[in-house]
Structure 1
């Protein structure tokens, strides 16, 4: 049934070629038993098959969806097929008009046209662009090709040239030598193409074509075996229709492949072709030796063949092991070690492939990208440990992979961020895919005995083939962060309004470089007398369309895009410049210290400590008067950046742990992370009075025990200030004292015109609180 279905799927030309071969083979088999009918009937399938092959090659060469090198290759082969038909038609005429010539006769017409056909095949293979190779690989291909040609030369000598040299007809000797050399040339060309790889020819098409050429180059070697008992038969009477049928199928395979891109195949680290050539020669050697050789000869040959076979098997086994190792290394380079999903590198390749327009395909196909980020994943790591967090990531990866279609790609970008490429998915199909993912994630995961709820935010970017991959991923990122504002697992499609007001990284880059970012300063005061003791530098963006933007609208974007580094350096440089001016002009009235926020990304930058030292030296600011703030939640991700903190402390700077008390590893942080100050989080400052001792009291006792300076944040009322003072706090900041102010307004504070207190709701202060490069 399968063969019948394949036959029905064939084109008319292919079915006709198969029919010609079937009739030819049947008639040739009948004549092997006894001569039947006129001899011309044995020759008719040859020109018929050649004409059908020419038509098949010609049709493939005109397929508009094929690349130009591919069409040119099949166009050359169509001329070659025509020459083969003419060559063997002239041979038929010679043999039919001179019955005594026999099957080994090679007429001038056959030599001329066959030579032209072979040279044209070699030229077509030569013009075929091959995949790029190193010098070592080219040498290996040359040696392998030489092995194949040497093996073919042995067979041609044994079955054709040796027989021709035994005759007195010099024209037969010359013709045999010419055809033998040309056969070796075409074998070398085919071997080189098969061993080198290919970019413009379909894999199966080239394999079938190589098989057809091999059959055409070697079957004439069987003629000496046929001639003694069947002088009326010529092996090419059946071999040429076989070649035509095989080559027609190769053209058919190429034509059927026009709807898909032709890619370079994944090659094994070695080729079996040269080993097959060696094995074939040894088989011939054994046969010849055991037919007429003496005992010593037989044992010597048998021993040599056995040793060679053992060496070949050992070498192939080593190649197989090396291939497995290379495959593992390739997999490790393109897949995530934890989840075994494709990594960022392979995801980029798959996305580029999905966005590549298909040759000849009408219109632009839809392509969607879904970016998935787990909500509150950090809390799992902090409370249950990284091992449980890793197991949760593995479970999430398994569920997402189970939701993917056959052509989708689920990848892990890093951390708790996953991405799915959805080729051919329009917005509606992408929504269905996101629904499946959301449903799969809603069931809690049981990890190491812990039942963990899973919540994720999914951002979807809808695009089409030809779109920019980085832009599509950025849109998915923006949509994902917009989805985080929704409750639970939710997804949103990107639209242009999501980019407002702080979502355009190019605008932020221009703002940093063009001076549209500026600093404000929030006073840090003494709770005893309200005296200014310090200030915290905070950043704002003067957006040309949306006005003054608070940091929570653009700091996340800066973190995701890496712009946090130039932004942080601007903040530190500008803060040091302004602080140096205050110190030079107002002396003791100037703030005693200046707090500047810094992100872990900055601390991980090579040379950050050198930048800080150079900036302080440029402005003449003592390192002891600068405090670098890192948030407690971000400090958990510092890793190797702790070494940078040590260097900064060695320079004389102080390190402050901001938002203290909101993380889950406070005591471990105080032990592992070099800090000099803690800033009590505003949630504890504003906690309502209760019968229990406030957390603020525990924090000040801990700070005093560890000899750390303590600052209370978010003070909004006189009652809060009084309570903190009674607990032992000596410095604080918040809207009870002042909002963040400009440098000029803070100057008024220093010169005796304090900024009036402007009480404000918690939501307003939260906006100002993280105006930071961290």
Structure 2
């Protein structure tokens, strides 16, 4: 469409140059000045025709541009007849012939009809009535100005204009006023808003011609024909080009100009002021009328100014509201910490990707992220999440969608032509060095799944989650690509979590008690409480199977609470039945999740109080990994110690910080790990293996004695081990040789038998 715009621009430029030459040297005949308008409008008609053939328009749009094309051809014919008469009348300026006036007037009416047919997008009667009120105000304001400065002086001029010329100019002024008010309320639709503005501006060209005629009289005709009027063709071809571009890239609809009625009020004041100033000098004695009119003008100006201020304020409020709504929409679809997509938006992106082709999803989460939160605080954890999110974005690239699904779990959506292996390698390389402000060295686990188009998003996420689960099962810092059947262990894990909840509600858990025995004499001095699950279908389920699932699902907290209360109840019952010497301690195990429970200390106090168990009889067994979980856990342990509850450090000697722990951790009992007991009786004295085992066992008992701690040797499988440990200084042991885990009823029988033996003696 550019060539039509360039052609009309050249025609307008030639008209200007010719008129300047005519003013200075008067070359050729004056009739040449009448040629530029028909040439310009003819080119505009061809441009509109090319537009209708080149693009697909809505019915209302096709109708508008068809009527505008007809208007251009009518103008071309009308002004062509005027040019013919000009060559006949040269060197005089000719008047508009009746046939030409009829064609041009018809063109104006067709253009007005076309503009009137453009829909405004208003559907309700209320909105339509309000818009007509505003448009009427704007129309009257515009026509008043055009009438006062253009049409009225021509009608009352000393040398009257012809009826045909007046009719054409009157119609052109009406078209200008109507088009301006119409285009101001178009928010978009079948006709581009900017294109409509350009078309409406052709009426302004007619108004300028009328003003030239009033101000210049006979001498204003030629510049109007050669300079001003050809611009109408340029405006139409520019509108065509704009519409062509708008069809290719449809922009958002915008609201109409609600300020136009207020401008119309101000516009009416212009001719009023003009009349007032002229009458001031012509009739200086009539001061009362001038004062009234001046006050009315001032009031309308102030009202318009006030409305403008209100309009600006409303515009600001609407802009803030739109910004707030946009912010809320963003917050509902994005993670507030990292700015990444959240789970809902990520699923939507997966649906879009799978509708277009194959896609891959990479799930990744940080290993030991909870340790960072517990030891360094949540601010450090948040900084690590933000840094890892940035690493994922850099590794995935701009064509991937990165999301934070929950906690430290992230996801990456990759197009079908990319493989996740490269992303995993890039993330691994980026995390091989410390990241975040705290310069933390982190590791991550990942699961990758790829599916063909048309696969449900839930299936893709399920496969990636199964791959992540498999990667974690293999150990930390691993990644796995999904394979068929891989989701079965993960789904079994999920089902196990549901079964655990049901088992807890149905009372399917039982406590078994393993005796803690004095190595010299074999007397039972305490018991360790071990939970067992008696499933109606599977029978007795091993703790090694369900305890990790309880940890992962969080059910370890209510399960541990039940174990604690049942241990206290049973220990108190034994003390009440057999006396205070029946056992010195009852020891349930405590998980790290329980230590993070804010109600744990209160739960321990309530269990002791409800069952009347002295705090010194309760021993809570904890692993080194649980003790090393930060300031919060340390406070909990010291509170328990202050209550009189004794704490036992289980599996001692296997961790990295065992010796330093004894200085900060309020332990009362140290339990030597089974790994230092296994085979201790088989080692030949003097061999390196024997010396190493015995050295560790001897060092632990000596260290405990120096710190005033009791010791328990775990995992004793035969009498030779018990004898060797007794010689090394251990007085209490635990293991299958000394007593297997047994139900409370079996242990009650043992206590009863021991009591009978003591009574008989």
TM-score scaled by length of structure 1: 0.61
Contact 1:456 1:489 in 2 (8 A): yes
The separation in 2 between residues aligned to 1:694 and 1:242, in whole angstroms, is: 98
Choose from 22, 43, 50 the match for 2:6: 22
Distance 1:482 1:112, change over 3 A: same
Distance 1:28 1:386, change over 3 A: closer
In the alignment, does 2:402 pair up with 1:405?
no
Q: CA deviation at 1:176?
A: 5.0
Distance 1:604 1:527, change over 3 A: closer
Distance 1:458 1:524, change over 3 A: same
- SS of aligned partner of 1:356: helix
Contact 1:527 1:725 in 2 (8 A): no
The residue number in structure 2 matching 1:680 is 671
The residue number in structure 2 matching 1:764 is none
Q: CA deviation at 1:492?
A: 0.8
Deviations 1:651-690 (A, max 9, x none): 88766655556556668877887x6655536267548524
Q: CA deviation at 1:421?
A: 0.9
Contact 1:537 1:597 in 2 (8 A): no
Q: CA deviation at 1:351?
A: 2.3
The residue number in structure 1 matching 2:562 is 573
The residue number in structure 1 matching 2:234 is 238
The residue number in structure 2 matching 1:212 is 195
The separation in 2 between residues aligned to 1:467 and 1:413, in whole angstroms, is: 20
Contact 2:564 2:604 in 1 (8 A): no
The separation in 2 between residues aligned to 1:738 and 1:85, in whole angstroms, is: 105
RMSD: 6.5
Deviations 1:423-475 (A, max 9, x none): 2146x712333344445555x6599999x987543321334667666765564
Q: CA deviation at 1:115?
A: 0.9
The separation in 2 between residues aligned to 1:400 and 1:511, in whole angstroms, is: 36
The residue number in structure 2 matching 1:225 is 208
Distance 1:748 1:86, change over 3 A: farther
Unaligned runs of 5+ in 1: 1-16, 60-73, 128-144, 194-200, 255-261, 294-303, 305-311, 755-774
Distance 1:387 1:349, change over 3 A: closer
Q: CA deviation at 1:398?
A: 6.3
The separation in 1 between residues aligned to 2:47 and 2:342, in whole angstroms, is: 48
In the alignment, does 2:526 pair up with 1:526?
no
The residue number in structure 1 matching 2:693 is 689
Distance 1:716 1:35, change over 3 A: farther
Count the aligned residue pairs. Answer: 644
The residue number in structure 2 matching 1:633 is 625
In the alignment, does 2:445 pair up with 1:457?
yes
The residue number in structure 2 matching 1:42 is 40
The separation in 1 between residues aligned to 2:380 and 2:668, in whole angstroms, is: 32
The residue number in structure 1 matching 2:745 is 747
- SS of aligned partner of 1:538: strand
The separation in 2 between residues aligned to 1:37 and 1:94, in whole angstroms, is: 12
Q: CA deviation at 1:648?
A: 7.5
In the alignment, does 2:471 pair up with 1:483?
yes
In the alignment, does 2:346 pair up with 1:351?
yes
The separation in 2 between residues aligned to 1:557 and 1:501, in whole angstroms, is: 12
The separation in 1 between residues aligned to 2:662 and 2:261, in whole angstroms, is: 71
Deviations 1:681-724 (A, max 9, x none): 6267548524467452266347636xxx7655444454555566
Distance 1:171 1:732, change over 3 A: farther
The residue number in structure 1 matching 2:704 is 700
Deviations 1:146-168 (A, max 9, x none): xx999999995797576566465
The residue number in structure 1 matching 2:415 is 424
The 5 Å alignment of 1:160-199 reads 163=149, 166=152, 180=177, 183-184=180-181, 186-190=183-187
Q: CA deviation at 1:568?
A: 3.2
Q: CA deviation at 1:330?
A: 11
Q: CA deviation at 1:630?
A: 4.9
The residue number in structure 1 matching 2:530 is 537
- SS of aligned partner of 1:231: helix
Choose from 371, 376, 379 the match for 2:364: 371
The residue number in structure 1 matching 2:244 is 248
The residue number in structure 2 matching 1:495 is 483
Contact 1:657 1:679 in 2 (8 A): yes
Unaligned runs of 5+ in 2: 19-31, 82-97, 125-130, 156-165, 213-222, 278-301, 303-310, 679-691, 753-761
Q: CA deviation at 1:519?
A: 3.3
Contact 1:366 1:465 in 2 (8 A): yes
- SS of aligned partner of 2:529: strand
The separation in 2 between residues aligned to 1:685 and 1:440, in whole angstroms, is: 40
The separation in 1 between residues aligned to 2:169 and 2:496, in whole angstroms, is: 83
- SS of aligned partner of 1:111: helix
The separation in 2 between residues aligned to 1:467 and 1:610, in whole angstroms, is: 50
- SS of aligned partner of 2:247: helix
The separation in 1 between residues aligned to 2:647 and 2:259, in whole angstroms, is: 68
The separation in 2 between residues aligned to 1:211 and 1:506, in whole angstroms, is: 60
Contact 2:509 2:532 in 1 (8 A): yes
The 5 Å alignment of 1:89-128 reads 98-100=99-101, 107-116=108-117, 118=118, 120=119, 122-123=120-121
- SS of aligned partner of 1:357: helix
Distance 1:584 1:692, change over 3 A: closer
Q: CA deviation at 1:485?
A: 5.3
The separation in 1 between residues aligned to 2:548 and 2:358, in whole angstroms, is: 32
Q: CA deviation at 1:507?
A: 1.1
Contact 2:143 2:173 in 1 (8 A): no
Distance 1:486 1:237, change over 3 A: same
The 5 Å alignment of 1:320-399 reads 342-343=339-340, 346-348=341-343, 351-357=346-352, 364-374=357-367
The separation in 1 between residues aligned to 2:178 and 2:731, in whole angstroms, is: 99
The separation in 2 between residues aligned to 1:474 and 1:88, in whole angstroms, is: 64
The 5 Å alignment of 1:252-267 reads 252-254=248-250
The residue number in structure 2 matching 1:139 is none
The separation in 2 between residues aligned to 1:602 and 1:90, in whole angstroms, is: 91
- SS of aligned partner of 2:750: coil
Choose from 434, 439, 444 the match for 2:424: 434
- SS of aligned partner of 2:225: coil
The separation in 2 between residues aligned to 1:615 and 1:652, in whole angstroms, is: 14
The residue number in structure 1 matching 2:554 is 564
The separation in 2 between residues aligned to 1:153 and 1:732, in whole angstroms, is: 104
The separation in 1 between residues aligned to 2:374 and 2:327, in whole angstroms, is: 33
Distance 1:686 1:93, change over 3 A: farther
The separation in 1 between residues aligned to 2:137 and 2:601, in whole angstroms, is: 68
Distance 1:238 1:476, change over 3 A: same
Contact 1:382 1:665 in 2 (8 A): no
The residue number in structure 2 matching 1:511 is 499
The separation in 2 between residues aligned to 1:602 and 1:83, in whole angstroms, is: 82
The separation in 1 between residues aligned to 2:602 and 2:140, in whole angstroms, is: 72
